[in-house]
Structure 1
Amino acid sequence: MGKHGIVVDPDQAREPFVLALDVGSTASRGGLYDAAGRPVRGLRHKVPHQFATAADGTAEIDPEQVVAELAEIITEVTGRRRGLRVAGVALDTFASSLVGVDDAGTALTPCYTYADSRCAPQLRALRAELDEPAIQQRTGTRLHTSYLPARLRWLRESAPAVFGRTSRWLSLGEYVHLRLLGTAAVGTSTAAWTGMLDRRTGVWDAKMLAVAGVDVAQLSQIHDPDRPLEDHGGAGGRWPALADAVWLAPVTDGFASNIGIGANDEATIAAAAATSGAMRVMLPGHPETIPAGLWSYRVDASRTLLGGALNDVGRVVSWLDHTLALDAPDTAALDRDAALLAAPDAAAPVVLPYLTGERSTGWAADARALFADVSAATTAPLLYRGAMEGVALAYARVAEQLKQAGGRPQRILASGRVTMDLPGWLQILADVLGAPVEQVTMKRTTMHGTALLALDVVAPGVERAAVEIGASYEPQASRAAYYEDRAARYQRLYDAVVAPHH
């Protein structure tokens, strides 16, 4: 075993094998996993990419480029071991993607990503004409630029010719399958992330389809993660290792991430901290009501993923490093972990960390960051500390609503780049939440979760290797009053600055 997980050498790996594919915001990845859910050493591949962005809110990627990336990954991974037989192939992608195709399956549009905000005018119109609380209780989602009702209406209004020629509307994962296999279905979690799924029944919501201006015939069949695709097309001919593989409908990265770190029951909260962040808990069944600040995604017939997302986590770290010139060669380096592990200091500013707007819990998309109580005596370490306390307080706001909906979980598992780069921040998070926070040290947890979903189908009776957990950060009772005061000041600032404009 390596430092960061459960990697197994090829000659020690147990069959059956599955191939997990992951399309994220910065790269496509793929890797082979054995029956115990262990990544097989040397059998993974990565192709970096980036979204095309513009000042008008554009954030898109060429779907054909992603198809080529995944084809390269499959070729690389399956070609490195002679005689390899893969039993299952599973794919996760970033959520809320959209591609329009014609009758022949040719893409008529780019892939619009969750980050594309050009439908903001249509979003405002929808909020004026619809009962948003009722929609949230029915679909599990608020009205937002990330979801498809506003995006489809934007396309209908801004590109009516293309909209009219579109035969099917697909997620990016469905488009990949259509191109590689000749068939496509949509995973339940992927359908839930559109904002157009009835979270209780698991079928497309007729009212939201009407709002979006699309017909149910233009959307794919919905498959729970244990239901393989019926037709594999010619993939086995192109890749002999996949000749007998079952393919699963694409799932969302958030669902896969929870599975990948072991946060797959109501006793465990997953705290993800990368460029953006989230707190999610898997609940049995489908909650009767949802707190206004959260989303609720149906992931299969018997489970719901409840949580909230934060736009700015690692983005705050990068902004601080750049703006405070902490990474400049002629600047004395700030010991970031020392600043985070130090005792709280009331001189640190109170920070609302909304560099690119707020999702959960207030959904104020146009909110911006605020540093309060900055004086001539405020130092770089205090600015750094205050901002990272602000990020932790944003997580606490989500955690409070999770408690309202799902009880009090027994564990909090933290994963993602920020937790690895700044482990000292996990002490602040534990103090703010008033609960222990355990650091997941395994890498590529999202892809691991995707592999586990495939293994549930092809190797259901095999014991899985445990996810490696590192340090546990215990809340310090002496700091509780300090963070209660910080949370109250945060709320007052929010009410004074953000709420009146939302």
Structure 2
Amino acid sequence: MPEASPTRGAIDHSHRVVLTTAPARAYDPEVATDGPAPRAPFVLTIDVGTSSARCALYDASARPVPGTTARRAHEVATSAGGGAELDPDALIASVVALIDQTLSRAGALAREIVCVAPGGFLHTLVGLDAKGRALTPVHLWMDARSDADAAQLRRELDEREVHARTGCMLHWSYLPAKLRWMRRTDPARFARVARFVSFPDHLVAQLLGPGPTSISLGAASGLFDQHRLDWDDEMLRAVGITRAQLLEIARDDRRLSPSRGAIAQRWPALARVPWLVPQGDAALSSIGAGCATRERAALMVGTSVALRVLFRAREVAIPDGVWGYRADETRMLLGGALNDGGSLVAWLQRTLRLPEHDALEAALREPFDDRLLVLPLWAGERSPGWAGRAHGAITGLALHTRAVDVYRAALEGIALRCAELDARVRDAVPEVREVVATGAGLLASTAWQRIVADALGRPLVVSSEGEASSRGAALVALDRLGIVPGVIDGIAPSGPVIAPDPARHARYRALGERQRALYRAVVDHDETGGS
């Protein structure tokens, strides 16, 4: 991997980030929108996702400080064989630049930062050498090259028992299959790896030095026992690694200290500020959307789609049909996920000649073509069927079919899959009374919000929080530092409510039956290799 420019936080060969001083620019209250002035103290949040990274300042009321949010997009390197990777050094450099920008925009307010709260995407894997340098790219959850290895694990292990302990299926989106794939395809490099870590943990280690991982990141790996809050020894044996090759799992009250002088030189405001151990963005997104109770499910549509319920539970049996990850020592996260959300929407927008946003939204409200049906499995399947080799399909095409018709059918197809997830989640957590829509993909389209509400057949609360995972990180920091104790449990969602139309819901129920029939035909073909 090419070395990044030192001014952007390059990794040198002594395992430290090369940091140089960045110019400051004072916070300008003129950029603030109508509302109360930011209230100290402040939390600096870092949020790294599949398609972009963000940094922002939040105040003591968990409100973003206007003008301080910095964002950078990054492009996943994909391959025909199913690969999906990011360059770890380039991604770290990008995050360093984002911190620069946020602190510069904060100006004098930066002196009142009391915590840095990093978070990021789940199911990532980076192999490090003994000095903490990356030997591998960042392997993402969507990297499907380990499908054959997942199948081999299913032959060797009892998947139901594995799921009951780890909350995860034996699927290519989780780390066990990826580790087996790495060991099988590149044994020399696998043997050189001293530590296997998530990217958020690697990022913070490069800035602060080696540290632990959080329960929320470890719990989503497929290597973690959700009941003992520890690594699962059977899974470690199955993939051929030891505990010494994984990070210590930190308890909730653990703090990290910026001991390196380079941090103080580049970011004086952060010289003595504690950092939280990096958290997984799934739980953070639910917290930020006000969904930390059994009564609310968060429907997040970003690059992928997830329907999640977060609630307090010291012990819980993980039901069939959903995954289950510990969010922390006292909370459980149950749900399901689809690979195709914003990623499929972006693919359609690149591929089809679609009108601009406003015209497209208007076109989506026109009468629809019932003959069109989309099975949105372009990137394979996770929940609910976990068919690793599944592919997408479009049926009902005709000479009169327009690009916007295909686009709408795809949005409907994703909404129908959300309804499948909702049915599984309701079986697992029957107390759920409302669904809260979050994520840039869904919040950007009122027409899609209406489609989702009609497909679910129950009211959809459209969250007013544009960056739920960043806000969630701020809320966790405010709670754990004792600034606003118990704030996570008291947050409720805000935003308009879309009531479902009974006639359209009935139509979607019928369309859902057709989609399930198409799913069975396509998945049977894909899983048997067409035989």
Whether TM exceeds 0.5 here: the answer is yes
- Greater alpha carbon shift after TM alignment, 230-239 vs 217-226: 230-239
How far 1:203 sits from its partner (Å)?
0.4
Kept after mapping to 2: 8 A contact 1:348/1:386: no
How far 1:48 sits from its partner (Å)?
3.0
Taking a change above 3 Å as real, the CA distance of residues 371 and 68 of structure 1, as seen in their structure-2 partners, is closer
Are residues 1:498 and 2:526 paired?
A: no
How far 1:339 sits from its partner (Å)?
4.5
How far 1:445 sits from its partner (Å)?
1.9
Distance in 2 (alpha carbons) for counterparts of 1:214 and 1:88:
34
Distance in 1 (alpha carbons) for counterparts of 2:148 and 2:326:
28
Taking a change above 3 Å as real, the CA distance of residues 300 and 374 of structure 1, as seen in their structure-2 partners, is same
**Matching residue within 442, 446, 464 for 2:469:** 446
Taking a change above 3 Å as real, the CA distance of residues 468 and 268 of structure 1, as seen in their structure-2 partners, is closer
- Greater alpha carbon shift after TM alignment, 304-313 vs 472-481: 472-481
- 2:501 maps to what in 1? 476
Taking a change above 3 Å as real, the CA distance of residues 386 and 106 of structure 1, as seen in their structure-2 partners, is closer
Paired amino acid for 1:248: L
Distance in 1 (alpha carbons) for counterparts of 2:278 and 2:484:
23
- State, as a whole percentage, how many aligned pairs show the same letter: 37
- 1:312 maps to what in 2? 340
3-state SS, counterpart of residue 231 of structure 2: coil
How far 1:206 sits from its partner (Å)?
0.3
Taking a change above 3 Å as real, the CA distance of residues 130 and 286 of structure 1, as seen in their structure-2 partners, is farther
3-state SS, counterpart of residue 114 of structure 1: coil
Taking a change above 3 Å as real, the CA distance of residues 10 and 479 of structure 1, as seen in their structure-2 partners, is closer
Are residues 1:32 and 2:32 paired?
A: no
Q: Whose RCO is larger (CA < 8 A, sep 6+)?
A: 1
Kept after mapping to 2: 8 A contact 1:23/1:29: yes
Kept after mapping to 2: 8 A contact 1:147/1:195: yes
- 2:150 maps to what in 1? 123
- Greater alpha carbon shift after TM alignment, 161-170 vs 402-411: 161-170
- Greater alpha carbon shift after TM alignment, 237-246 vs 389-398: 237-246
**Matching residue within 484, 507, 527 for 1:461:** 484
Q: How does 1:285-364 map to 2 (within 5 A)?
A: 285=313, 288-327=316-355, 335-342=359-366, 345=368, 347-364=370-387
Kept after mapping to 2: 8 A contact 1:78/1:84: no
Paired amino acid for 2:361: D
Q: Alpha-carbon deviations, 1:204-236, whole Å to 9, x = none?
A: 000011111111122111124443236744434
Distance in 1 (alpha carbons) for counterparts of 2:362 and 2:125:
43
**Matching residue within 170, 177, 181 for 1:143:** 170
Question: How many aligned residue pairs are there?
Answer: 492
3-state SS, counterpart of residue 68 of structure 2: strand
Are residues 1:385 and 2:408 paired?
A: yes
**Matching residue within 102, 105, 114 for 1:77:** 102
Are residues 1:368 and 2:368 paired?
A: no
**Matching residue within 209, 214, 225 for 1:198:** 225
3-state SS, counterpart of residue 271 of structure 1: strand
3-state SS, counterpart of residue 66 of structure 2: strand
Structure 1 residues without counterparts, runs of 5 or longer: 1-5
Distance in 1 (alpha carbons) for counterparts of 2:48 and 2:350:
28
Distance in 1 (alpha carbons) for counterparts of 2:469 and 2:365:
28
3-state SS, counterpart of residue 67 of structure 2: strand
**Matching residue within 243, 255, 276 for 2:271:** 243
Taking a change above 3 Å as real, the CA distance of residues 357 and 7 of structure 1, as seen in their structure-2 partners, is farther
Distance in 1 (alpha carbons) for counterparts of 2:366 and 2:379:
28
Are residues 1:111 and 2:138 paired?
A: yes
Distance in 1 (alpha carbons) for counterparts of 2:320 and 2:438:
25
- 1:168 maps to what in 2? 195
Paired amino acid for 1:64: D
Are residues 1:212 and 2:239 paired?
A: yes
3-state SS, counterpart of residue 43 of structure 2: strand
Taking a change above 3 Å as real, the CA distance of residues 48 and 326 of structure 1, as seen in their structure-2 partners, is closer
Q: Alpha-carbon deviations, 1:136-156, whole Å to 9, x = none?
A: 111000112221111112222
- 2:24 maps to what in 1? none
How far 1:314 sits from its partner (Å)?
2.3
Kept after mapping to 2: 8 A contact 1:282/1:304: yes
Taking a change above 3 Å as real, the CA distance of residues 376 and 407 of structure 1, as seen in their structure-2 partners, is same
Q: Alpha-carbon deviations, 1:108-163, whole Å to 9, x = none?
A: 22222222222223222212222112111110001122211111122222222222
Taking a change above 3 Å as real, the CA distance of residues 119 and 182 of structure 1, as seen in their structure-2 partners, is same
Taking a change above 3 Å as real, the CA distance of residues 213 and 11 of structure 1, as seen in their structure-2 partners, is same
Taking a change above 3 Å as real, the CA distance of residues 304 and 164 of structure 1, as seen in their structure-2 partners, is same
How far 1:42 sits from its partner (Å)?
2.4
Distance in 1 (alpha carbons) for counterparts of 2:390 and 2:456:
23
- 1:426 maps to what in 2? 449
Distance in 1 (alpha carbons) for counterparts of 2:218 and 2:479:
21
Taking a change above 3 Å as real, the CA distance of residues 39 and 467 of structure 1, as seen in their structure-2 partners, is farther
Taking a change above 3 Å as real, the CA distance of residues 86 and 323 of structure 1, as seen in their structure-2 partners, is closer
- 1:66 maps to what in 2? 91
Runs of 4+ in 1 over 6 A off after TM superposition: 6-11, 462-468
Calculate the TM-score normalised by the size of structure 2: 0.85
Paired amino acid for 2:328: D
3-state SS, counterpart of residue 327 of structure 2: strand
Distance in 1 (alpha carbons) for counterparts of 2:339 and 2:493:
27
- 1:54 maps to what in 2? 79
Distance in 1 (alpha carbons) for counterparts of 2:358 and 2:127:
48
3-state SS, counterpart of residue 20 of structure 1: strand
Kept after mapping to 2: 8 A contact 1:361/1:397: yes
Taking a change above 3 Å as real, the CA distance of residues 379 and 245 of structure 1, as seen in their structure-2 partners, is same
Distance in 2 (alpha carbons) for counterparts of 1:259 and 1:280:
11
Paired amino acid for 1:148: L
3-state SS, counterpart of residue 309 of structure 2: strand
- 1:3 maps to what in 2? none
- Greater alpha carbon shift after TM alignment, 33-42 vs 333-342: 333-342
C-alpha RMSD over aligned residues: 2.7
Kept after mapping to 2: 8 A contact 1:35/1:459: no
Taking a change above 3 Å as real, the CA distance of residues 73 and 388 of structure 1, as seen in their structure-2 partners, is closer
Taking a change above 3 Å as real, the CA distance of residues 212 and 324 of structure 1, as seen in their structure-2 partners, is same
Kept after mapping to 2: 8 A contact 1:266/1:283: yes
Kept after mapping to 2: 8 A contact 1:10/1:40: no
Distance in 1 (alpha carbons) for counterparts of 2:350 and 2:86:
27
Taking a change above 3 Å as real, the CA distance of residues 393 and 286 of structure 1, as seen in their structure-2 partners, is farther
Q: Alpha-carbon deviations, 1:343-367, whole Å to 9, x = none?
A: 6x56342321212211111111222
Structure 2 residues without counterparts, runs of 5 or longer: 1-30
How far 1:437 sits from its partner (Å)?
0.3
Distance in 2 (alpha carbons) for counterparts of 1:405 and 1:384:
32
How far 1:387 sits from its partner (Å)?
2.5
Are residues 1:223 and 2:223 paired?
A: no
- Greater alpha carbon shift after TM alignment, 133-142 vs 162-171: 162-171
Calculate the TM-score normalised by the size of structure 1: 0.90
3-state SS, counterpart of residue 71 of structure 2: strand
Paired amino acid for 2:520: D
Kept after mapping to 2: 8 A contact 1:27/1:46: yes
- 2:25 maps to what in 1? none
